[in-house]
Amino acid sequence: MEIMGKISKGSKMDQIYLPKNRTGFFVGNYVIIKPFEEGEKTAKPARKLYFYGVKKLESVKLGIIHETLDIIDRHLSSYENIFITGSFLDEGFQFNDIDVLIVTDDKLSPDVIRKDIERKSGIIGHILVLSNKELIKGLETDPLYQMMLSRCASKKRFVYKTKYKIDYKLLDLHLLKSKTLIDNFDILSGKEKYDLVRNMIAIYLHLESKKLSKELVDNEIKRIFDLKDIKELKHNLLNKNDFLKKYKLIYGKTFSKILKEIKSGSK
């Protein structure tokens, strides 16, 4: 990778600014600076990415994101935006898949793109395709959509101004998924438990009109279940009786509130 920059005049030293998100150029590395000659061939400049709620991303992951975007570009000529979300953006290399949200009104086959991503990078691609209208509706009513885009990388800058709505029937369906943990605690993995707990707590906070983010939900999980680190849940290091007692209490409160609103006629 080559980075082209312009020398800027400083008060004490002249300088060259480098973008924060770059592949292969780490803080502390030594580099060679040389004049650029007219007509000289250079590497294709890296496309700009926009990051939301992501403080740091390893260069290997940046390369995978760029390759994924190139694959989608070859299959789809137009789209509103592309988002990379999920655990792929967590620090470290404990991942085996990448979650991709494509916002487009065009029809496409996610399976073709998924297979191409897996063939080129060796990583399983989970592809979700939504129209812009569907995405906006999801952000208004679905806490999981809000969490998804609170921490993501996107190809284009985005700002969605949405109204806050509560769809109690939709939340009832989502909450039902989390009941699985109560009935199947012993056979679920730590990651599966985390996903179900996160789902329930996101709904719980959404009912309190909280603006959701992964950090907010994780902090609430730690507070409610008295965890020092969220890894205690992800790695299945739990006291079953204490955990289930607290879990059933929150689940019951959340379910009762949703059921009460549904009976009273709320939509």
pLDDT band at 38 (very low <50, low <70, confident <90, very high): low
For the cut 60, the answer to whether the pLDDT of residue 267 exceeds it is no
pTM tops 0.85: no
Residues 229 and 179 sit within 8 Å (Cβ to Cβ): no
CA dihedral in degrees (18, 30, 61, 52; nearest 10)?
-30
* Distances from the Cα of 220 to the Cα of 38, 202, 223, 246, 257, angstroms: 56, 9, 5, 13, 19
pLDDT band at 122 (very low <50, low <70, confident <90, very high): confident
Q: What is the pLDDT of residue 42?
A: 55
User: Degrees (nearest 5) of the Cα angle 158, 159, 160?
Assistant: 120
Sign of torsion, CA 169 172 176 178? positive
Residues 152 and 88 sit within 8 Å (Cβ to Cβ): no
Q: How many CB atoms lie within 10 A of CB 46?
A: 17
For the cut 60, the answer to whether the pLDDT of residue 45 exceeds it is no
Q: What is the pLDDT of residue 27?
A: 75
User: Degrees (nearest 5) of the Cα angle 193, 197, 202?
Assistant: 150
Question: What is the distance, to the nearest Å, from the Cα of residue 238 to the centroid of all Cα atoms in its chain?
Answer: 25
For the cut 80, the answer to whether the pLDDT of residue 203 exceeds it is yes
Q: In the chain, what are the domains?
A: 50-154 (3.30.460), 168-263 (no CATH)
Mean pLDDT of the chain: 87
For the cut 90, the answer to whether the pLDDT of residue 106 exceeds it is no
- Give the percent of the chain with pLDDT over 90: 55
What's the CA gap between 250 and 240, in Å, rounded? 15
